[in-house]
Amino acid sequence: MPIQRSLKAIGSRTINAVWRMGYASRFLVLTLIYSGLSFRRFRLTVKEMFFSGVMSIIIIMVAGMFVGMVLGLQGYETLKRYGSESALGTLVALSLVRELGPVLAALLFASRAGSAMTAGIGLMKATEQISAMEMMAVNPIARLIAPRFWAGVFSMPLLASIFSVMGVFGGYVVGVVVIGVDEGSFWSQMQDAVDFQHDIMNGLIKSFVFGVAVTVIALFEGFDAPPTAEGVAGATTRTVVQSSLAILLLDFILTAFMFRGA
Amino acid sequence: MERSTYDLWVGAFVVAGIGALMVLALKVGNLSTYNMSETYQLQVYFTNIGGLKPTASVRSAGVLVGRVATITLDPERYEAKVTLTLDSRYKFPSDTIAKIQTSGLLGENFIGLMPGAEDKMLDNGELLKQTQSAMILEDLIGQFIYGKPDSTK
């Protein structure tokens, strides 16, 4: 019976998904409980920040610059029709600070650092380094997972800020230097429209939430990966897919709370 | 505990990130242009506030002097009660007129203060008595099309 078989497949997948959800929640709670070590020996966290944060700076800066330049070009084309080219600064800054900065930085972070985290943890598990740690009475969550978690959570808002600044700079280069929008109105209209509390802080909160989501998904997928080559490969793919979806979904929810046309 | 190269790089990263945040706050955002240390509040009643929103700017002679703090409907007068937070560097005479103005034809609403000539200055919590409500574009167009009642005579 093909119908019965497909129903069975759907059922087992659903149960498996709920199961993993619960396991992932327990994993997050354990990570938070055992985070003491990653602050007492802050060196561990600093080292992970180097691998997840510092190594992502180049791609974040280049991507931010190009996104800002594209926003400058496209925004100018549209605003020109209404004779309000001077609002270009507002358009570039608001779209970057509120949405594109946090979201695109998080997407890049998920594919640059998240996948590396999953592969690293998954490989440690496959080569039985994690079991060896447990054997030596070293808690792998405190020693391996929590420092990576906090490193990701700290890095994400910083990366999103760098992304936004590079984007604004890219928009400035295209809009003011290349196209020739008035420099004074570019900056003054931008400063008039961008509110520190409402726009910049909300963008930071967003990137913080994305940081938590991406690192938890990446570390959990690595920790839960089947200890084989295919298992690690599949887990890495799932990390990128799931964290990208999680970022976009969370972004919608947060935007609905933060900017519902107050 | 000795220093490592990781510390240097991560330190540079954190400095760059916080620097970016400072640039966002000061150059992109309005933290530098809008910094009121000491403030006082004034009340204003309007019959119609149009599209005025909390945090809208309060300007006098075009200069930003404060923000709209709250907007509520007074249940006794059926008028909008607007509370303004003003920078205490700027004091206004008691016969100051508060107008709801629009930046540009379709822009944002803000409150414009036209100072009067009285010697007495308004203090914290006092009421601005002379007001001029928002100009509703639809009403103006309606008046233009159907004519004012007194202009038909």
Shared-domain flag, residues B3 and B75 = no
Shared-domain flag, residues B56 and B122 = yes
Give the H/E segment covering residue B8.
Answer: helix B5-23
Q: Which domain holds residue B122?
A: 39-135
DSSP-derived secondary structure letter, A259: -
* Minimal Cβ distance to A196: which of B12, B17, B25: B25
Amino acid of residue B146: Y
CATH number at residue B85: 2.40.30
Q: Are A92 and A191 in contact (CB under 8 A)?
A: no
Shared-domain flag, residues B24 and B98 = no
Shared-domain flag, residues B25 and B96 = no
- Residue A177 burial class via C-beta count within 10 angstroms: exposed 0-12, middle 13-18, buried 19 and up: exposed
Q: Enumerate residues 6+ apart whose C-beta is below 8 A from B87.
A: B36, B38, B39, B65, B66
CA distance A154 to A51: 13
Mutate which of B24, B57, B108 to disrupt the A interface (most A C-beta within 10 Å)? B24
> Tens digits of per-residue pLDDT, A142-153?
888 999 999 999
| B144, part of any domain | no
Closest residue by Cα to residue A118 from A237, A245, A221, A231: A221
- Cβ distance A190 to B28 less than 8 Å, yes or no, reads yes
| B148, part of any domain | no
Shared-domain flag, residues B64 and B119 = yes
Shared-domain flag, residues B89 and B105 = yes
> Tens digits of per-residue pLDDT, B121-139?
888 888 888 888 877 777 7
Shared-domain flag, residues B64 and B100 = yes
| B83, part of any domain | yes
- What's the confidence (pLDDT) of residue B105? 65
Q: How far is A143 from chain B (nearest CA, A)?
A: 18
Q: Which residues of chain B have pLDDT under 50?
A: 152-153
- What's the confidence (pLDDT) of residue B149? 59
| B84, part of any domain | yes
| B150, part of any domain | no
> Tens digits of per-residue pLDDT, A176-205?
899 888 887 888 888 878 888 888 899 999
pLDDT at A262 over 70: no
- Cβ distance A159 to B7 less than 8 Å, yes or no, reads no
* Minimal Cβ distance to A50: which of B9, B16, B17: B9
| B143, part of any domain | no
Interface pTM, i.e. ipTM:
0.78
- What's the confidence (pLDDT) of residue A253? 93
Shared-domain flag, residues B20 and B45 = no
Total domain count for chain B? Answer: 2
- What's the confidence (pLDDT) of residue B32? 57
> To which residue do tokens 């906090």 refer?
A150
CA distance A111 to A116: 8
Give the H/E segment covering residue A77.
Answer: helix A57-81
Q: Enumerate residues 6+ apart whose C-beta is below 8 A from B55.
A: A195, A198, B67, B68
- Cβ distance A54 to B18 less than 8 Å, yes or no, reads no
| B141, part of any domain | no
Shared-domain flag, residues B19 and B61 = no
Shared-domain flag, residues B53 and B81 = yes
CA distance A54 to A154: 12
Shared-domain flag, residues B66 and B122 = yes
Name the band, by pLDDT with cuts 50, 70 and 90, for residue A38.
confident
Shared-domain flag, residues B6 and B61 = no
> Tens digits of per-residue pLDDT, B135-151?
777 778 888 888 765 65
| B142, part of any domain | no
Angle at A222 between CA A155 and CA A105, to 5 degrees: 30
> To which residue do tokens 């594919």 refer?
A111
Q: Which residues in chain A are closer than 8 Å to B63, comparing Cβ atoms?
A: none
Size of interface A-B (CB pairs under 8 A): 86
